[in-house]
Amino acid sequence: MARFSAEAEYRAMASATCELVWLKQLLKELQFGHVNQMKLICDNQVALHISSNHVFRERIKHIDIDCHFIQENIMSGDIKTDFINSSDQIADIFTKSLRGPIIGYICNMLGTYDLYAPA
């Protein structure tokens, strides 16, 4: 169980990093182009600071060692982290219950359209 929200976000970033590394290796084995650097987007600035700043590592010893896997991938250049505002987080449509205007905004960002709308 996470002690604070940044820890939960950081653990999610570590899990996503594992998936990105696996996907990069799969694309390499299938000879499907060359993937240089992958972008990992997060809406929690504290988690981003933990992942990019080596000094924070000493302050968060309660997080498992395997969660620092993300730092190694950032330092090697395989992963690049970026911040996104919570209001622009596209994944929220799949993970949260949202109200009408927000659903319309995210669907517009995804490029979806209403099949039943009058033409």
What would the pLDDT profile of 3-56 be if each residue is shown by its tens digit? 567 777 878 888 888 899 899 899 889 988 777 888 888 887 777 777 776 655
pLDDT digits (tens, 9 = 90+) for 63-93: 666 567 887 888 888 888 888 887 777 777 7
Cα distance between residue 3 and residue 46, in whole Å? 14
Residue 108 vs residue 1, higher pLDDT: 108
Class of residue 52 by CB neighbours under 10 A (exposed 0-12, middle 13-18, buried 19+): middle
pLDDT at 1: 47
Domain ranges, ordered by start, for the chain = 5-84, 86-119
Q: Is the pLDDT of residue 58 over 60?
A: no
How many whole angstroms separate alpha carbon 76 and alpha carbon 46?
21
Task: Give residue 22's pLDDT.
Answer: 92
